[in-house]
Amino acid sequence: MEASYSVTPDKSRNLARVKMAGFFDQKDVQEFAATYRQVLSHLKARGHLTLVDITGMSIQAQDIVGAFAALLASPDVRSRRLAFVCSSSLARLQAQRLTDRDEVEFFDRMGDAEAWLFTS
């Protein structure tokens, strides 16, 4: 399945909404990173939130997981809170390898992820 993604800013909530699907290669990760950074430029630099829906994403190759992990480790994209919505336990396990920092959580349902993100 070909990679696809969307990144939408919600300025009123200082939130980046991300939806990812398919199987990514290095070029896809680079294009996603550029798009994500562009969207973040429309939000407040400090304290933004990110909600990532990976329910349609395939299990990724290790080098792709590493590329996404490097992106999330970049100070210029770091979210105050980061919530992942996963469709399977295997997808959740792979997403958990992206970062080990605080304020990152993993959910089965979008409503639960949103509730956590907007709770102080």
Tens digit of each residue's pLDDT (9 = 90 or more) over 48-61 = 999 999 999 999 99
CATH number for the domain formed by residue range(s) 4-117: 3.40.50.10600
- Phi (first) and psi of residue 8, to 5 degrees: -125, 130
Tens digit of each residue's pLDDT (9 = 90 or more) over 11-25 = 999 999 999 999 999
Specify the pLDDT at position 120: 64
- Going from N- to C-terminal start, the domains of the chain cover 4-117
Portion of the chain with pLDDT greater than 90, in percent: 76
Q: Which residue has the higher pLDDT, 27 or 73?
A: 27
Tens digit of each residue's pLDDT (9 = 90 or more) over 83-118 = 999 988 878 888 888 887 889 999 999 999 999 999
Q: What is the pTM of this model?
A: 0.91
| Cβ–Cβ < 8 Å for 89, 54 | no
Specify the pLDDT at position 94: 85
- Phi (first) and psi of residue 55, to 5 degrees: -65, -20
Specify the pLDDT at position 45: 64
Q: Which residue has the higher pLDDT, 5 or 1?
A: 5
